[in-house]
């Protein structure tokens, strides 16, 4: 097992500013979608339980 020049791994190229901007926009979009889903499930849960959720014994 000799190590030739093709066996050495090159470090990844740094991201360009365009790549970083695209990555940030994608992260923001995913965060908004996830937040929207959380809000949607919360509202659906409250709607399914109805007003009876306030009349429960503590």
Question: Angle at Cα 47 formed by Cα 30 and Cα 57, nearest 5°?
Answer: 120
23 contacts 15 by C-beta, under 8 angstroms: yes
Alpha carbon distance 45, 34 (integer Å): 17
pLDDT given for residue 38 in this prediction: 98
What does the pLDDT read at residue 5?
A: 58
Place of tokens 């009349």: 55
| CA–CA gap between residue 7 and residue 41 (Å, rounded) | 50
* pLDDT tens readout for residues 25-55: 999 999 999 999 999 999 998 888 887 777 7
Handedness of CA 15, 18, 21, 27 (dihedral sign): negative
């Amino acid at each position: 097992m000799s190590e030739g020049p093709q066996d050495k791994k090159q470090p990844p190229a740094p991201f360009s500013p365009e790549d970083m901007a695209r990555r940030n926009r994608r992260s923001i979009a995913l965060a908004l979608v996830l937040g929207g889903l959380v809000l949607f499930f919360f509202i659906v849960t409250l709607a399914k339980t109805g007003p009876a959720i306030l009349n429960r014994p503590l």
